[in-house]
Amino acid sequence: MASVVRAITDKNRAQYEHEILEHYRLRHEIYVVERNWADLFRPDGLERDQFDGEGADYILAIDDGRVVGGSRLISTLRPHLLSEVFPHMAAARGLPRAANVYEWTRMFVAKERREGRNNGRTAGAVICGVLEHCLSIGATEMTALVEMWWLPRFHEMGFTLKPLGLPELINGEWSIAVSMTVDDQTLESTRAFHDIDGPILGTEEAKPRSKFIAA
């Protein structure tokens, strides 16, 4: 089945209200129901925090209005997860905050779209979309709080990472704050790893420059 990946920002958010809502529902299903992050439970079944909404950029993989994967980017000049909730995780090196640094959070793929250890084409398309969007807005670095099992995956994709502090057990998973370089080389190696042969992001004004085939 063919899917498209969209970058949703304050400029075009009104065109994607349905998809944004669906992605909050899917986040609740994954993080609360599947992964049992009880602190994120909401009676309305929508997983949202204080960093969602205005100022947040979303990269969503969409099939005819149905969200099957996505992620979130927030400028580090704004309040974000590492600055407000987990600042101690960057105690060793300090938390990078600049116009060219964005925080990357809430990476997810719908259960039925996961393939193998690295979660397959849908995950790869979302990650490539994140990198493409960063490059399009002048971001050259991302920060993230990631589970330790992500580190070898990022290494295989060609990412350059730098730990910002010591690991900590969070929601039953050993996690660490990192910064990662965003450049053309990282994008190209990530595309190659996921067998994606060109730009993945589409725009609301034109058809996507490429489509990926999700299982």
HEC secondary structure over the chain: CEEEEEEECCCCHHHHHHHHHHHHHHHHHHHHHHCCCHHHCCCCCCCCCCCCCCCEEEEEEEECCEEEEEEEEEECCCCCHHHHCCHHHHCCCCCCCCCCEEEEEEEEECHHHCCCCCCHHHHHHHHHHHHHHHHHCCCCEEEEEEECCHHHHHHHHCCCEEECCCCEEECCEEEEEEEEECCHHHHHHHHHHCCCCCCCEECCCCCCCCCEECC
Q: What is the CATH number of the domain that holds 18?
A: 3.40.630.30
pLDDT for the residue numbered 211? 43
Residue 2 — pLDDT band, cuts 50, 70, 90? low
pLDDT tens track for 159-168: 999 999 999 9
Range of the domain at 156: 2-213
Q: How many domains does the chain have?
A: 1
pLDDT for the residue numbered 136? 97
pLDDT tens track for 44-95: 888 899 999 899 999 999 987 789 999 999 999 999 999 999 999 999 999 9
Q: What global pTM score does this model have?
A: 0.89
